Structure 1
């Protein structure tokens, strides 16, 4: 077999592959055996039909086509290896020449992994925001905790923001009740904005047994985006009474004896959460600083497919939340063009980061052992709320294990970048990342252990969606 490669672009190549007829013989023999098992010919047992009889009964052309279908993928993979190409998608294959006893010639155009000239990646520098936990942050958490222990008391006054009301609600269109838009005895917190637009305005100032009618647009169902009339009746108004913020409350709501101890614990938990956010920002900043040093060509087909996948994912999430894309963009203060531009930028950065981290992992000869693979898949299962065994079975059945291995290698490459970088906060303080634990606490320096598992901290955008 002979092969030649033509570079069409930094991310696309065209292979021309020639297979001499004598190299087709094993595939021809396999084709005859396969067809012999599929046909019935009087005088011959199934599977024992001679080739010359198959040629007469079925036709030599059918056998040749079967042989070509078998040899094409093998020859294509061999040509990729021979020319040191890494494909990124399925190839576009065209048979350009094939005649009996004269051999096979075909071409394969395919997106390939670009060649990357790695810049120096030791000693990268990055800056992140300071960690700041204010008294207001602590008070907000404590207020949320108080609400969990609050009690509702009926009041004889109009409803106001923060009150809980029991309501009956029905939406109509042209006088007919909208399917699925009628509820009774529903408890709702005024001002929460958790239902339909206009409801909070209608409820504010409404008394028990009072009815209000307003016009709004539905965000889901067959009439999404259309005006409907909504009638709401207040049946009960309740005020939430919160417990006093004192030592008694601390003992009731936690394992602490004093409010001071509870405050300290809340502040510590908030600090740990901020540390994890800061660490994530540090990883992104370090990776971004390296990406700025290298120009990575991207295959447009891959970019388009990822853009379509992410756009569909956003639309699906918005549909589940009952929010049209237009409403989402309005809330985010974005135009459609700005949304598309931001999505395009994030997709291109994510793909470039994958290529870059793969290149570093290859250069550093980073491997993955079975325990790392198992722990990673269990972690992924937990993140997606799936049963670990079912998740693992799915990964093996759908051949996603190589993708899992690549995720781990990318995580190791990123971890090496971060550990070799100098990351400071806005105040100039060194950010502790090496000993940061999964709960946000800082551990002790430990002796180096070559057999220890490297933390896997690949950014979420680098993790491919699974089927």
Structure 2
């Protein structure tokens, strides 16, 4: 099956393929069989209609067209392998010559991975913040644990700072009640903030059954940012009794015998989380350095389609949340303007595609592979991230088998990035080297001899060193969606 390749641009080629008509025979036979099973023709049993009769009834051209639809992907794939090309998108195929019984010729224009050289990974470098634990952070985690083991006692006195009050809220504007800003039976800890400005001052000094009024700005719901008159009524005042931070509390709340041991375990857990965050930032920084050192352009068609998909996804999410982009930016302060937001999205899209191209080449040149265990572990982590079960993720893959290839590609890219980061020089802001030798494909840090199961941060139990690093680099190595794929039917890869 002879084929030629014409280089249209550094990242786009035109493949011309000639196929002897005899190569189409298996697909022709299949087309005849399929049609024979679907039609009822007098004098013939279903599935036993001769090809000649089918040609007379439907025309041979229709049979050839169906056979070509079946065979062209295979012919195209053979030509890609023969010419050692790496397509980055779906091809634009055109049959340019068709001689029944003799020859088929077709062309396929497609964006391919351009040729480029990879830098020496040992020359890559990054600087990240030192992994440190603030004593105040340990105190905060211990205080949270202390509150979990505390108790509340109803008191017959005016509410004071730190008390838990059960309150009813009624909001009005110009004397008319605002139904969307009315709530009953809310437990609120005085001094905790986060509800309404002026609420603390209003409830302090109130006893059960007493009310107060104040003016505030609503902070949520359809009436957000609306000024309203608020009436708060206290129905219960409770005083929190917290256990002392001593050895007895350590024995009650943890596996440790002394408070000092429990505090030291908290410090170790938080330090490990700090190291995970440090590894995440190192991963991002090394990848950025790599991208800056590789001279390659992402195909324009690929950039445009990826950016359009990202914009559509964001627009749909905002619509589902009944938010405009301006409201979202005001809430999150992610960007100063809509223009800046879209410009940043465009850059992140281009960087993500460039990272994918580079990491795919690294994985190919280094012969990185993915086995069943890799896939199993990836499924388990996906389930943890999505709050589902591994079986649910596996069932999803059975329904959408093309996602298996996406998962495999994601794992392979993760392995490539881990290899690159391990070779790079990473130091912290104090000038100390950061050891990332145990960085895994999924962004975890594995310490030999320790469990890979993650514990909840802040608990007295030890947090495993293989806990997943939440990293922006994950956005740069996500699997791209091929053109023509059912990208909109679920959202598990973005």
Tell whether the structures are fold-level matches, with TM greater than 0.5.
Answer: yes
Query: Deviation digits for residues 100-140 of structure 1, max 9, x if unmatched?
Result: 55644433333323333112123533222112222222222
Matches within 5 A, 1:25-44: 25-44=25-44
Match of 2:359 among 353, 357, 366: 357
Query: Deviation digits for residues 402-450 of structure 1, max 9, x if unmatched?
Result: 2222223222222222332332211122222325899979658xxxxxx
Aligned to 1:449: none
Contact 2:202 2:214 in 1 (8 A): no
CA-CA distance at 1:166 after TM superposition: 1.8
From the superposition, tell whether residues 12 and 157 of structure 1 become closer, same or farther in structure 2 (CA, over 3 Å): farther
Find the aligned partners of 1:287 and 1:306 in 2 and give their Cα distance. Answer: 20
Report the secondary structure of 2:198's partner residue. Answer: helix
CA-CA distance at 1:19 after TM superposition: 3.7
CA-CA distance at 1:276 after TM superposition: 1.4
Matches within 5 A, 1:407-418: 407-418=410-421
Find the aligned partners of 1:377 and 1:394 in 2 and give their Cα distance. Answer: 11
From the superposition, tell whether residues 263 and 327 of structure 1 become closer, same or farther in structure 2 (CA, over 3 Å): farther
From the superposition, tell whether residues 305 and 105 of structure 1 become closer, same or farther in structure 2 (CA, over 3 Å): same
Contact 1:407 1:463 in 2 (8 A): yes
Report the secondary structure of 1:386's partner residue. Answer: coil
Report the secondary structure of 1:204's partner residue. Answer: helix
From the superposition, tell whether residues 292 and 316 of structure 1 become closer, same or farther in structure 2 (CA, over 3 Å): same
Q: Does 1:466 align with 2:492?
A: yes
Find the aligned partners of 2:358 and 2:305 in 1 and give their Cα distance. Answer: 20
What is the Cα-based RMSD across aligned positions, in Å? 3.8
Find the aligned partners of 1:387 and 1:440 in 2 and give their Cα distance. Answer: 23
Contact 2:152 2:240 in 1 (8 A): yes
Find the aligned partners of 2:398 and 2:130 in 1 and give their Cα distance. Answer: 43
Matches within 5 A, 1:80-229: 80-98=80-98, 100=100, 103-122=103-122, 124-152=124-152, 154=155, 156-157=157-158, 162-170=162-170, 175=176, 178=179, 182-190=182-190, 192=192, 194=194, 199-206=196-203, 207=206, 209-212=210-213, 214=215, 216=217, 219-220=220-221, 223=222, 227=226
Aligned to 1:450: none
Aligned to 1:369: 371
Contact 1:167 1:232 in 2 (8 A): no
Find the aligned partners of 1:149 and 1:39 in 2 and give their Cα distance. Answer: 73
CA-CA distance at 1:264 after TM superposition: 2.0
Q: Does 1:430 align with 2:433?
A: yes
Find the aligned partners of 1:413 and 1:105 in 2 and give their Cα distance. Answer: 38
90-99 or 63-72, larger mean C-alpha shift? 90-99
Q: TM-score, normalised by structure 2?
A: 0.77
Contact 1:165 1:234 in 2 (8 A): no
Aligned to 1:274: 274
Contact 1:218 1:228 in 2 (8 A): no
From the superposition, tell whether residues 282 and 386 of structure 1 become closer, same or farther in structure 2 (CA, over 3 Å): same
Aligned to 2:263: 263
Contact 1:31 1:63 in 2 (8 A): yes
Find the aligned partners of 1:216 and 1:326 in 2 and give their Cα distance. Answer: 19
Contact 1:169 1:230 in 2 (8 A): no
From the superposition, tell whether residues 10 and 439 of structure 1 become closer, same or farther in structure 2 (CA, over 3 Å): closer
CA-CA distance at 1:343 after TM superposition: 2.6
Contact 1:21 1:104 in 2 (8 A): yes
Contact 1:412 1:456 in 2 (8 A): no
CA-CA distance at 1:85 after TM superposition: 2.1
Query: Deviation digits for residues 24-71 of structure 1, max 9, x if unmatched?
Result: 444334333332332222223333333332233222332232233223
From the superposition, tell whether residues 204 and 409 of structure 1 become closer, same or farther in structure 2 (CA, over 3 Å): same
CA-CA distance at 1:398 after TM superposition: 1.9
Matches within 5 A, 1:67-82: 67-82=67-82
Matches within 5 A, 1:12-31: 12-31=12-31
Matches within 5 A, 1:448-467: 459-461=473-475, 462-464=477-479, 466=492
Contact 1:116 1:356 in 2 (8 A): no
Query: Deviation digits for residues 162-196 of structure 1, max 9, x if unmatched?
Result: 543322235679957646x543212133555555x
Find the aligned partners of 1:436 and 1:115 in 2 and give their Cα distance. Answer: 29
Report the secondary structure of 2:38's partner residue. Answer: coil
Find the aligned partners of 1:361 and 1:439 in 2 and give their Cα distance. Answer: 19
- In the alignment of these two chains, the number of paired residues is 451
Report the secondary structure of 2:118's partner residue. Answer: coil
Matches within 5 A, 1:330-341: 330-333=330-333, 334-335=335-336, 336-341=338-343
Query: Deviation digits for residues 326-346 of structure 1, max 9, x if unmatched?
Result: 344234442222322333333
From the superposition, tell whether residues 55 and 227 of structure 1 become closer, same or farther in structure 2 (CA, over 3 Å): same
From the superposition, tell whether residues 319 and 164 of structure 1 become closer, same or farther in structure 2 (CA, over 3 Å): farther
132-141 or 26-35, larger mean C-alpha shift? 26-35
Query: Deviation digits for residues 319-368 of structure 1, max 9, x if unmatched?
Result: 88887643442344422223223333333223222222221111111222
Contact 1:171 1:228 in 2 (8 A): no
Report the secondary structure of 2:107's partner residue. Answer: strand
Find the aligned partners of 2:347 and 2:418 in 1 and give their Cα distance. Answer: 24
